[in-house]
Chain A
Amino acid sequence: NAGVTQTPKFQVLKTGQSMTLQCAQDMNHEYMSWYRQDPGMGLRLIHYSVGAGITDQGEVPNGYNVSRSTTEDFPLRLLSAAPSQTSVYFCASSQHGTSTDTQYFGPGTRLTVL
């Protein structure tokens, strides 16, 4: 199993550009989520999905869209990049999304918005 994979590892955007961060898992997990990690702060939840076709907002959803057309993939779209979105983005998955499930994290995407 590859676990949770993310692409790209690094990305530089100009303000106003759009892009999609890719996330895939091969563990047949129902629950997938996106976090951002900023210096000195804990990870914050952007969006999550409890299964194919179902998504919901997390703590900091503004400026981001998600979709879940398959169990495996959970892309994160930046609609119009802003410098405040400069961060490291982590995708995570767990079996059912229950409070005791272990979450598996991808390696992260480091995004810089100029």
Chain B
Amino acid sequence: KNQVEQSPQSLIILEGKNCTLQCNYTVSPFSNLRWYKQDTGRGPVSLTIMTFSENTKSNGRYTATLDADTKQSSLHITASQLSDSASYICVVSRLRAGNMLTFGGGTRLMVKP
């Protein structure tokens, strides 16, 4: 069964600290893996997308890694800011038209001053 599992479910950190979110997947055949940020009451916004051959990609203070062999990804947030408070969703795309995306349940991050 195609699944995407994220951990932890929720996380509280202090402003300025770093954190790492985890994503494990069993989706096959694998095409790419995306991380989205979803602010409360808003739609998800794409942060990064990585294909099979890429093992790291950065977007400002966000750095995503991918290990396609172990089917794991992580999202590292550096020097957190209050505006980083959101849900972070891992999404894996299959090599198939139409119903391509499998979404994780998300990690809810709260950054406190």
Contact = CB atoms under 8 A, between A and B. Distances in A.
Contacts of A92: 43
Given A106-B43, A107-B42, A108-B42, A99 B93 contact: yes
Interface string A26-45: 00000000010000111111
B104 to A, nearest CB: 5
Given A99-B32, A100-B31, A107-B42, A42 B103 contact: yes
Nearest to B103: A42
Contacts of B44: 43, 90, 105
What range describes how many residues of B lie at the interface? Answer: 20 to 34
Q: Using C-beta atoms within 8 Å of the partner chain, give the interface range for chain A.
A: 20 to 34
Interface stretch (B11-19, B59-67, B94-102): B94-102
A3 to B, nearest CB: 9
B101 A102 contact: no
A45 B45 contact: no
A107 B93 CA distance: 22
B97 A97 contact: yes
* Residue among B45, B89, B103 facing the most chain A CB atoms (10 A cut-off): B103
Nearest to B4: A42
A43 to B, nearest CB: 4
Interface string A2-15: 00100000000000
A40 B10 CA distance: 11
20 contacts: A40-B9, A40-B105, A41-B105, A42-B105, A42-B106, A43-B89, A43-B101, A43-B103, A45-B99, A58-B99, A90-B43, A97-B97, A97-B98, A97-B100, A100-B51, A103-B46, A105-B44, A105-B45, A107-B43, A108-B41
Interface of A: 4, 35, 40-45, 48, 50, 56, 58-59, 90, 92, 97, 99-100, 102-103, 105-108
